Amino acid sequence: MNHPSALPSAASLMPIAARPDVLFVRGQGAWLFDAAGRRYLDWMQGWAVNCLGHSPQVIVDAVAQQAATLLNPGPAFHNLPAMRLAEKLTAHSGFDHVFFASSGAEANEGAIKLARKWGQLHKGGAHEIVTFVDGFHGRTLATMSASGKPGWDTLFAPQVAGFPKARLNDIATVDRLIGPKTVAVMLEPIQGEAGVIPASGDFLRQLRQLCDERQLLLIVDEVQTGVGRTGHLFAHSAHGIQPDIMTLGKGLGGGLPISALLATRAASCFAPGDQGGTYCGNPLVCAAGLAVLDTLLADGFLAASRQRGEQLAAALRALSSELGLGAVRGEGFLLALELGTDLGPAIATRARDLGLLVNAPRPHCLRLMPALNTSAAEITEGIALLRRAIADVQEAQA
Ligand SMILES: *Cc1c(COP(=O)(O)O)cnc(C)c1O
């Protein structure tokens, strides 16, 4: 059964991504194991999803217990894990209400709908949401339109209207786009897919002030930056601002599909029937979310993770000066190494051959998203593999 010749073919899957010829069959903590038994240190972790690493015991236990207790009463009824998770999220944030969904895009769709509803109720039908060049908010039609990814304005045209684009860290470009139809500003505190480009604290505070002055909602997409990824429970908290709406995804389920839309009482204006979904607040995924939050909120967890993140950033800076590369960006365990050349994909491929998984979100940089509980020894091991991968590719180019 487990013999490689018995492996199925991928020919029946839609070819939506160029996937390498490696098949992972098992994961444990920071490590993935392929069908041939090789191990890989995973610094992608399902695109910043597996915040506690692969198959962590707390999630395995929580999901097994919930699966045996109650899988799905359906969205027409309350369930204990959803109520507990919503209480925990509101208790540890400045938001009052939560709507659960399954993906980041779905949570962002909800945020867009909530802002448009709020505009109908409080701003004479204002519905435009200022978003940002190079931003990323998901792959539904509206969230693709809100994204500023090059090429996405024509792929699947026509776009959903109402998402004018400003430039990150340039408040004048936001101000210029605000008119009577504007209802909100939406951004990632750190643009992840763009290559880990942080919004500055000053810019976030200027945005908060601008939104207050012009009666606009401030929406933060923390699908990638939230749930401990930056060393804080939420990235915006480190900058002392309170947004009106926040979305979470990725790390929230630690590998299971759950996302969340959070709003302050003043912004939370859905009436019964306005929003929903078959899997919203499903108890199985909410049980996973509870296991994740309980772990992150335990004494010392985030502080330790922040320290490890600083260790990785320092090691990357040392590597950069040794090998003549560029800047290190990001916070916590959402880091990017600027390469100064377009060797990112080649380095990622070489690193994988050596047993390290890293991602090149843009050809000129590498993104590193290890599990939040990665050990100091694993960081040392990963940096050694990364040094070799970069040096090998540089040598092949020379
Ligand atoms: C990944 C991501 C999304 C989309 O989440 P999906 O679960 O893939 O729909 C949205 N916003 C940001 C910032 C993301 O990083």
Q: Is residue 343 part of a domain?
A: yes
Number of domains in the chain: 2
Q: Is the same domain home to 270 and 155?
A: yes
Cα of 134 vs centre of ligand 1, distance in Å, is 13
Among 297, 323, 352, the domain-final residue is 297
Among 297, 328, 363, the domain-final residue is 297
Tell me what pLDDT residue 1 has: 43
Q: How do the pLDDT tens digits run along the chain, 398 residues long? A: 445 567 899 999 999 999 999 999 999 999 999 999 999 999 999 999 999 999 999 999 999 999 999 999 999 999 999 999 999 999 999 999 999 999 999 999 999 999 999 999 999 999 999 999 999 999 999 999 999 999 999 999 999 999 999 999 999 999 999 999 999 999 999 999 999 999 999 999 999 999 999 999 999 999 999 999 999 999 999 999 999 999 999 999 999 999 999 999 999 999 999 999 999 999 999 999 999 999 999 999 999 999 999 999 999 999 999 999 999 999 999 999 999 999 999 999 999 999 999 999 999 999 999 999 999 999 999 999 999 999 999 999 88
Q: 221, 234, 244, 333: which one is catalytic?
A: 221
**Half-sphere exposure of residue 237, counting CA atoms within 13 Å on the CB side?**
15
Please, are residues 190 and 223 in contact by the beta-carbon 8 Å criterion?
no
CATH of the domain at 187: 3.40.640.10
Q: What domain range includes position 86?
A: 58-297
Q: 99, 117, 163, 250: which one is catalytic?
A: 250
Which atom, in ligand 1's list, is nearest to the CA of 249?
A: 7
Active site residue 299: no
Cα of 105 vs centre of ligand 1, distance in Å, is 6
Residue nearest to atom 15 of ligand 1 (CA): 224
pTM: 0.97
Q: Is the same domain home to 246 and 351?
A: no
Q: Is the same domain home to 245 and 367?
A: no
Site residues for ligand 1, CB cut-off 6 Å: 103-105, 108, 136-138, 188, 192, 221, 223-224, 249-250
Q: Is the same domain home to 147 and 100?
A: yes
Q: Is the same domain home to 236 and 203?
A: yes
Q: Is residue 328 part of a domain?
A: yes
Query: Residue 5 corresponds to which tokens in the numbers above?
Result: 């010749």
Dist. CA 137–CA 226, nearest whole Å: 14
Q: Is residue 64 part of a domain?
A: yes
Active site residue 250: yes
CATH of the domain at 318: 3.90.1150.10
Q: Is residue 355 part of a domain?
A: yes
Dist. CA 396–CA 398, nearest whole Å: 6
